[in-house]
Structure formats: C-alpha cells, structure tokens
C-alpha cells in the first residue's frame, strides 16, 4: 500500500531525510522510531503529501503522492503531532464540519460522523465543546477525524504524546483494532509504544534507516538477549560460570543475583542448569532475558551518531 523509494528532504543546507526506502502492506502497524530530530515527522509528512521530497518517490496504492496528492490523500488519514481543533465547537459539530470539507453531506455525513465517534469511543462527550475535553478525549477526537473518509492508510505522528498511562492504553487498543484492514504507520520516540502495538519497526537516525524488523527480532540484537539472571547458593558459582564456553561475562548484582551474558546471543540457560545440577547448587530463581528494545535503540542510534561525527 505504501512504497517509498530513496526519499530525500533538504531544508537549506541541512539534510533531514537521507535516502529512506520502505514498503508497507495491509495489516501492518509500522512504528517509525527514532530520537528527536531524526527525520520521523518529515518522512510522515512526505508520505502524507504535505511536504514534497527533494528527491525520491512515495506511492500510495500505486498513486505517486507528489504528482497526484489529492488522489493519494483520499486513501490517507493523517494525524499530525499537533492537530488544529476548533475549541468552541462540539465534538460532533467539529467532525460534521470536517466531513463536509471532505465532500460528504446529509445522511452520508451524519453516518460517517456517528461511525467515527463510535470507533473512537467519543459517545460520552459528543455534545461537549472541545475546550472542555481532557487530553485523552482530544486525542481521540483528532483520531476520529482521520477516519471520516474510511481511509486505507493511517499516518499518526506521536499519537499518544502527553497522555497518561490509562489514556495511552485506550488509544493503543483503538489503533490495534483499526490496523486489521489498513496500514497504520506511526512515528514515535517511545519504545514502549513500539513493543505495545507495532508488528514492525523502522529505526531512523540522522535521516537514514538504520534498522527494519519486527520488535521481537530487533530485541535479539540486544546485548542482553539470552542473558540469564539467577538466584543460587553454592560454591564457586561465578568462577564456574565464567569457564563455560558460551558465556562471555558474569556479573554479581547488589541484591546478590548473578547475571551471565552469552557470547553472540547464544542460548546458555541449558549450560547453566547443567552446571547447577553437576555442582549441586541450590537455584531458587532463574530468568532468561528476551532482549531489550531500549538497549538496541541506544546501541544503533549512538553508533550512527558516532559515525556522523567521525565523518564530520
């Protein structure tokens, strides 16, 4: 549904996006992840047709966005990080107004407004003015306006920014449900967001794509992937673990627990359990780490920053 090839965007002498390419198909929730200033919002705006690329192309359902923005935008629901809201309008009045802007009227307009309100759980506040809404309901109103024309593609820029944990949970659940028959592409710098709802993640740093995989696969790049934390009593535990061939490092934490890190992400739990049995250690707890996205994110983005500084 979305195909981006070699996207470049310059602002004067500064290159904000540098050769970004990706394809996304229906049913995907794509997290566009990166530190602040990495080029996430600029890329989203180019895909949405609100910012022309300096070079490169974006196609939406086979339509070149730069050449035919109006035709492409019929398939896109775009929620910028800061969506303008008319504070003195009611929720339903605001959505009716935007539905009319999109060319809907009469029963068709009202039906689309009602459906958007239902999808975004706005029923309790539909007759309230927007200036009285909580941050969570304001975000839901912004999301509702992207659904009025029933688009195939949702582009969401920082959709849960500023929400409390309960509000985030509601919005994330809404996004999951909407993704079944659509492409959802969301930009975020919140790693928790990617793990919670994304089926795929692209990490962008310095305007370049530096990783593209599922969150689960990305976590296998973590230095903590397959690390084993254990609580055990016995003689020479640390020294014995250090001698096991697939273990690279062993640390003792302040709480007395022992952490063994594998070489190259290898599975070391069976080796440790075998050693425990052989040496008759008393093991009260053992945990295998699945890897951590924050570790991978830090490792990849700081490496890219270092490369840029070296080149400069």
What is the reported pLDDT for 180? 84
CB 80 within 8 A of CB 29: no
Burial of residue 22 (CB within 10 Å: 0-12, 13-18, 19+) is buried
What is the pLDDT at residue 303? 64
Domains of the chain, each with CATH number or no CATH:
2-219 (3.40.50.300), 228-288 (3.30.70.100)
Looking at residue 307, its pLDDT comes to: 55
pLDDT tens readout for residues 244-289? 999 999 999 999 999 999 999 999 999 999 999 999 999 999 999 9
pLDDT at position 114 is 97
pLDDT score at 162: 81
Tokens 């890897």, residue? 291
What pLDDT does 177 receive? Answer: 87
Of the candidates 212, 156, 188, the residue with the CA atom closest to the CA atom of residue 34: 188
Question: Residue 312's pLDDT is what?
Answer: 45
Task: Spell out the SS3 assignment of the chain.
Answer: CEEEEEEEEEECCEEEEEEEEEEECCCCEEEEECCCCCCHHHHHHHHHCCCCCCEEEEEECCEECCCCHHHHHCCEEEECCCCCCCCCCEHHHHHHHHHHHCCCCHHHHHHHHHHHHHHCCCHHHCCCEHHHCCHHHHHHHHHHHHCCCCCCEEEEECCCCCCCHHHHHHHHHHHHHHHHHCEEEEEECCHHHHHHHCCEEEEEECCEEEEEECHHHHHCCCCCCCCEEEEEECCCHHHHHHHCCCEEEEEECCCCCEEEEECCCCCCHHHHHHHHHHHCCEEEEEEECCCCHHHHHHHHHHHHHHHHHHHC
Residues of the chain with pLDDT under 70: 303-312
Q: Which residues have CB under 8 Å from 234's CB, separation 6+?
A: 276, 279, 280, 281, 282
For residue range 14-31, list pLDDT tens digits in order: 999 999 999 999 999 999
Q: Which two three-digit tokens encode residue 123?
A: 């029923």
């Amino acid at each position: 549904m979305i195909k981006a090839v070699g996207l470049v965007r310059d602002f004067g002498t500064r290159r904000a996006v540098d050769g970004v390419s990706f394809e996304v198909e229906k049913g995907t929730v794509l997290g566009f992840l990166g530190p602040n200033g990495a080029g996430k919002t600029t890329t989203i705006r180019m895909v949405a047709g609100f910012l022309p690329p300096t070079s490169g192309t974006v196609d939406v359902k086979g339509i070149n966005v730069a050449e035919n923005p109006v035709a492409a935008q019929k398939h896109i629901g775009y929620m910028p990080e800061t969506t303008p809201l008319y504070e003195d309008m009611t929720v339903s009045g605001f959505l009716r107004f935007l539905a009319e802007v999109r060319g809907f009227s009469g029963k068709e307009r009202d039906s689309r407004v009602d459906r958007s309100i239902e999808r975004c759980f706005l029923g309790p506040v539909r007759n309230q003015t927007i200036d009285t809404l909580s941050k969570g309901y304001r975000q839901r109103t912004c999301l509702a306006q992207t659904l009025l024309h029933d688009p195939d593609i949702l582009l969401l820029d920082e959709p849960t920014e500023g929400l409390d944990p309960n509000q985030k949970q509601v919005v994330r659940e809404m996004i999951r449900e909407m993704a079944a028959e659509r492409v959802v592409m969301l930009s975020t710098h919140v790693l928790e967001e990617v793990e919670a709802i994304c089926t795929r993640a692209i990490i962008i740093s310095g305007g370049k794509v530096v990783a593209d995989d599922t969150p689960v696969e990305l976590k296998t790049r973590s230095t903590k992937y397959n690390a084993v934390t254990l609580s055990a009593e016995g003689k020479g535990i640390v020294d014995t673990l250090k001698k096991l061939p697939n273990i690279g490092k062993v640390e003792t934490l302040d709480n007395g627990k022992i952490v063994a890190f594998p070489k190259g992400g290898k599975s070391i739990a069976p080796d440790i359990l075998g050693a425990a049995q052989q040496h008759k250690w008393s093991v009260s707890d053992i945990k295998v780490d699945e890897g951590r996205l924050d570790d991978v994110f830090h490792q990849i983005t700081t490496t890219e920053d270092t490369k840029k500084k070296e080149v400069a």
